Structure 1
Amino acid sequence: MSDADNKKPISEEFERATNYELTDHDIERARLLIGIDLACRDKEQITTISEDNIRTYAQGCGSDNPLFVDPDYASKTRWGGVYAPPIISGFVNKPLLGDPIPKEIKDQTKSVFRGIHAFISGGEWKFYKPLYPGDSVYSFSGEVDLEVTPSEFAGRKVTRFNRSVKMNQRGEVIAEYTYRLILTERKKAREKGKNLSIEPASYTDEDIARIDELYANDNPRGREKLFFEDLEVGSILPDSVRGPLTVTDVVNFHAAGYGWVPYGLRTGRMWHKNRKRIAPFYVKNEMGVPDVAQRLHWDSSWAQAIGNPRAYDYGVMREHYLYHYLTEWVGDNGWVVSMYDEIRKFNYMGDVQFVKGEVVGKREENGQYLVDLKVQMINQRDEETVRCTATIALPSKKGGAVLLPQADEATQRKAIEMLARHGELLAEKQG
């Protein structure tokens, strides 16, 4: 078949994939899911923590922090060995058995928002405990809210707020993540073409030298203690950098464990089976080959088909980059308590992110010595792409070592109940 013969069906494929609409009917159906917590049955690429996948994860985020990658070093810290930072639970999961969604709700919400472009625009993390080699991660989650607002980029948008509670095999809550999932119409975004005029980044040797200098000075604090008393409101955090973004960065982030369910990146026979399972997720590329719609993160021609100038990162990549920036700054004796971020701009291939931060508050609370921070990512066009607020716990010269925070009683009780129900259903299944 000639290239000319291929052009029409591929164009039709793009048109089909970008022609789904946000409807009032889908919005009302989606509201039925608010307040329902369900056990997460997904089996992620990683289900149980090991020294190897901790190291692979950290390096996939661009971090060589010895606390995560060097067992000999980590064994001499307060943690007793390498541990996985709780943010890794965003893409580590072992199937949790639980009661299904009520049938009437399932029937009414089937295929809701099918074919609509979705991306995460940030969220709020709360961190309670580290994960050690041998620990498994289970989770349950549910919609907590839904908003409909105008969108400069795509006409209107739907924002779904989902809270996911992460726990270990003992039922201890290790983290909570409430993220914002943005839903927009691909067709309107493409027609508007708002971002297509954004010029690609270009760097001189002097530009790369400036970036290299920031990396050269960007080292983990390590054993050196940063005390609560060392900081004042207005104290400036060290400048840092991430990027320039390449396809290699996206590949490394996937290698770290991200992005396998519910859609999945599959090869060979598994590619064939996955297409049968979720056909709308596959859109023909310029060669007529069905490939994942998710490829807009590495395939600029597909990204352009839905209204962007080139491929761009996952917003969660920058969340994880920021977490490691904070963890390396607080050192081995501090703890990142929480982090709220807003992804405000796309991070396109070639873009670089300069990281800046400052102290905006200090307080003592329930035996913890807490410092509030404002952190930003700013690209080479001097645009703020991420706005973040975070709270860290530091050791105190008068109060001693950091005390880890705890989940509230209701959330911890729900976690124990969910894990107990898992045990009951597992026993029934095996018996």
Structure 2
Amino acid sequence: MSEQTLTEDFKKATAYELTDHDIERAKLMLHVDLASRDQEQIGTASIDNIRSFAYSCGSDNPLFCNPEHAASSRWGSVIAPSMMAGVINRPMLGDPLPEELKAATKSLFRGIHMFISGGEWTFYRPIFPGDTLYSFGGEDGLEVKQSEFAGRSVTRFNSQVKVNQRGEVVSVYRYRAILTERKKARETGKYKDIQPATYTEEDLAHIDEVYSAERSRGAEPLYFEDLEIGSALPGGASGPLTVTDVVNFHGGGYGWVPYGLRSGRMWNNNRKRIAPFYVKNAYGIPDVAQRLHWDSEWAQAIGNPMAYDYGVMRENYLFRYLTDWVGDNGWVFKQYDEIRKFNYMGDTQFISGEVVGKRVENGLNLVDVKVKMTNQRGEETVLCDAVVALPSRDGALVLPPVPLELQTRASKMMARHWELLAGKRKP
């Protein structure tokens, strides 16, 4: 988008500032457990939407995609990639935010650009077809710092507990949301000199080789005893990134909450509801600010050289890599990742990993691994610390137990949900 096409609407959209007032108001929301009222595109897992989500992450792992194969596994059925918990949600009923707190935090960080810079997943139980997920949680941390890319920034830490219809804790996701001023990111121009990636036939042949060597372990066991500290994990890849990848990821269920990608009358109603989220393009058409993930013109207007992925896409690609490695009989217990660089359209991420620790805790055979993504420019874009649980040669896989305090919180929230639901159904 050139200077000539910077409309008054665009200038207005980039005029919102991070204020001390908003930062102080945000602190009021710390450690407030709230039931999530969100209705995601997917509320209940099924064989079909599990397969669609796996495909959207580039995974053809038969445990997720092949019911016949999965039926003979230790799980007896297809299960979802555990990270799919992030896109499955039905509204949980719960006590509302107190009116005074709701009023005090209304329109918090209105018009401020936000992106996810990584997070930490802890997985306790598998998601089966027929499972419905609910969630609760909220902000549990806030940091203010100076950013090279965008001046002052605010990091909000949010934890969401995912619970199934049986009241069992399935997983916990704690993510870091970075809030920056759109105009500041544009003014610094930190990344303006990055050029789009181009590929020779030799470059593509190298990527082909990496992909050809990838495979899902499937039913072949990976035993705890088979690994040594310092052992390298197999190589992997993701990319080159295209707009098609972003479209596929949305098609798998991601990105419809909280803002919503809508069409027709729903688009019209949504932009009236959250007007600052809609910014006119060069043709005068209001479109979502979120389009910086597929519209390079808009991405350039707010300080990036081209469109880029969602950080959570790479989180899912790392999970795909880890689940391929551990196979049907292993379990990815924890995945902590830091997104260090943008993944621009055309970039390829090469994945590598190493075993850095082994231990037995409470009957669990745990293996610590470090994994990273490195792009074609040789830059490390994501660093990941993961913990996997494996079977031993003389014993089956043991799943991690849910901490009592966490399960107690979840049981209390779900009991309140069912109580309120029963009240709504009374004649």
TM-score (norm 1): 0.97
| Counterpart code for 2:410 | A
1:31-46 equivalence runs, <5 A? 31-46=27-42
CA offset digits 1:299-340 (Å, max 9, x no partner): 000000100000000000000010010001001100000000
1:371-382 equivalence runs, <5 A? 371-382=367-378
Q: Which of 199, 224, 237 is residue 233 of structure 2 equivalent to?
A: 237
| Counterpart code for 1:160 | R
CA RMSD of aligned residues (A): 1.2
Equivalent residue for 2:54? 58
Equivalent residue for 1:192? 188
In the alignment, the residues of structure 2 paired with residue 406 and residue 117 of structure 1 have an alpha-carbon distance, to the nearest angstrom, of: 38
Shift of 1:139: 0.2
| Counterpart code for 2:15 | N
Shift of 1:406: 2.1
Structure 2: gaps (5+ residues): none
In the alignment, the residues of structure 1 paired with residue 237 and residue 320 of structure 2 have an alpha-carbon distance, to the nearest angstrom, of: 12
In the alignment, the residues of structure 1 paired with residue 332 and residue 261 of structure 2 have an alpha-carbon distance, to the nearest angstrom, of: 31
Equivalent residue for 2:347? 351
Q: Which of 228, 251, 254 is residue 258 of structure 1 equivalent to?
A: 254
Shift of 1:91: 1.2
CA offset digits 1:231-252 (Å, max 9, x no partner): 1110000010000000000000
| Counterpart code for 1:421 | R
Equivalent residue for 1:309? 305
Q: Does 1:413 align with 2:413?
A: no
Equivalent residue for 1:3? none
Shift of 1:143: 0.6
| Counterpart code for 1:307 | G
Q: Does 1:425 align with 2:410?
A: no
Equivalent residue for 1:278? 274
User: Does the residue aligned with 1:174 lie in a helix, a strand or coil?
Assistant: strand
User: Does the residue aligned with 1:356 lie in a helix, a strand or coil?
Assistant: strand
Equivalent residue for 2:84? 88
Q: Which of 158, 164, 167 is residue 168 of structure 1 equivalent to?
A: 164
| Counterpart code for 1:15 | K
Equivalent residue for 2:287? 291
In the alignment, the residues of structure 2 paired with residue 183 and residue 428 of structure 1 have an alpha-carbon distance, to the nearest angstrom, of: 39
In the alignment, the residues of structure 1 paired with residue 24 and residue 387 of structure 2 have an alpha-carbon distance, to the nearest angstrom, of: 36
**Higher mean C-alpha deviation, range 79-88 or range 367-376:** 79-88
| Counterpart code for 1:417 | K
Shift of 1:11: 1.7
Shift of 1:396: 0.7
Q: Which of 395, 399, 408 is residue 404 of structure 1 equivalent to?
A: 399
Q: Size of the alignment, in residue pairs?
A: 425
Q: Does 1:159 align with 2:166?
A: no
User: Does the residue aligned with 2:102 lie in a helix, a strand or coil?
Assistant: helix
Shift of 1:222: 0.8
Q: Which of 352, 355, 363 is residue 359 of structure 2 equivalent to?
A: 363
Equivalent residue for 2:65? 69
CA offset digits 1:28-50 (Å, max 9, x no partner): 00000001010000000000000
User: Does the residue aligned with 2:101 lie in a helix, a strand or coil?
Assistant: helix
In the alignment, the residues of structure 2 paired with residue 264 and residue 359 of structure 1 have an alpha-carbon distance, to the nearest angstrom, of: 40
Tell me, yes or no, if the aligned pair for 2:120 and 2:173 is still in contact at 8 Å: yes
User: Does the residue aligned with 2:114 lie in a helix, a strand or coil?
Assistant: strand
1:12-27 equivalence runs, <5 A? 12-27=8-23
In the alignment, the residues of structure 2 paired with residue 202 and residue 141 of structure 1 have an alpha-carbon distance, to the nearest angstrom, of: 43
In the alignment, the residues of structure 2 paired with residue 352 and residue 13 of structure 1 have an alpha-carbon distance, to the nearest angstrom, of: 35
Q: Which of 330, 335, 341 is residue 339 of structure 1 equivalent to?
A: 335
Tell me, yes or no, if the aligned pair for 2:54 and 2:81 is still in contact at 8 Å: no
Shift of 1:150: 1.0
Q: Which of 75, 93, 117 is residue 121 of structure 1 equivalent to?
A: 117
Shift of 1:19: 1.3
User: Does the residue aligned with 2:420 lie in a helix, a strand or coil?
Assistant: helix
In the alignment, the residues of structure 2 paired with residue 163 and residue 61 of structure 1 have an alpha-carbon distance, to the nearest angstrom, of: 23
Shift of 1:86: 2.2
Q: Does 1:210 align with 2:206?
A: yes
> Displaced runs of 4+ in structure 1, greater than 3 A?
none
User: Does the residue aligned with 1:159 lie in a helix, a strand or coil?
Assistant: strand
**Higher mean C-alpha deviation, range 405-414 or range 169-178:** 405-414
| Counterpart code for 1:427 | A
In the alignment, the residues of structure 2 paired with residue 277 and residue 185 of structure 1 have an alpha-carbon distance, to the nearest angstrom, of: 21
Shift of 1:85: 2.4
User: Does the residue aligned with 2:135 lie in a helix, a strand or coil?
Assistant: strand
Percent of pairs identical after alignment?
67
| Counterpart code for 1:415 | A
